[in-house]
A = this chain, B = another copy of it.
Amino acid sequence: MGHAAIASTLLDVSAAEEPAGPVSRQERKQRTRQALLDAALDLLADRSFASLSLREVAKGAGIVPTAFYRHFSSMEELGVALVEETTRTLRGMLRGARTEQRGYGGMIRASVHTLHRHVREHEDHFRFVTRERYAGPGAVSRAIAVEMRMFSSDLALDLARFDPLRTWPTEDLHLLADLIVTAMLGTVAELLDIRPGDTAADERTLVAAEKRLRMILLGVPHWQP
């Protein structure tokens, strides 16, 4: 629970905690905002976004319901902010994966590995995105769709640097990228379904993910319009 989430209660004896940074006005506001996001993500661990109430999130962040509106005009807006937060994580992952690339084999292994690491490191974010991706109309799903398209485009750009793919039409390149992204997302969903301790299941899932990617890429050298 939000360990006093900034939001001073009447008696906040919160003595130490943190180097007690500068408590400027906007700084405090931003902290509460973050507390709201954190609380939402926390509650989202085993529920869908649609079933999340403004009051719950506010309570989780340690503020009164009406104060919620000082930060977001609606739950939907908070949801979009959550998507943006997740995006930063994803971009970081892509950047990391971009550095090391040799042939196909090495790239597949490395990609799956970094994906695994990031999923385990930010389970809540990934769970949120995979859950809400197809959750129906609404700003959240739309924001996710946009983000996924960007992600896929980035991947297509990266793929274009490989030898047999250099000459592909961009359309086919995007198709391949979508295929890979979709397969990866499936892997993410599988990983998130594994119960916490089971490292053997993790390993099995990763092997399956590598195989899946290899299957997809096997056809690449034989492709023509």
Contacts and interface: CB of A to CB of B under 8 A. Distances in A.
Contact of A182 (B48, B130, B186, B219): B186
Nearest to A216: B216
Q: Interface residues of A: mostly helix, strand, loop or mixed? A: helix
B211 A172 contact: yes
A135 B179 contact: no
A215 B211 contact: no
Q: Most chain-B Cβ atoms within 10 A of its Cβ — which of A131, A172, A179, A222? A: A179
Contacts of A163: none
A178 B189 CA distance: 13
A189 B164 CA distance: 30
Nearest to A213: B179
Interface in A184-203: 186, 189
Interface string A4-41: 00000000000000000000000000000000000000
Contact of A218 (B50, B175, B223): B223
Given A135-B135, A182-B186, 12 more contacts: A47-B50, A48-B50, A48-B136, A50-B50, A133-B134, A175-B208, A175-B215, A179-B216, A182-B182, A218-B218, A218-B219, A219-B220
15 contacts: A46-B137, A48-B48, A48-B136, A50-B50, A50-B51, A51-B51, A130-B134, A131-B134, A131-B135, A133-B134, A135-B135, A172-B211, A175-B211, A179-B183, A179-B212
Interface of A: 46-48, 50-51, 130-131, 133-137, 172, 175-176, 178-179, 182-183, 186, 189, 208, 211-212, 215-220, 222-223
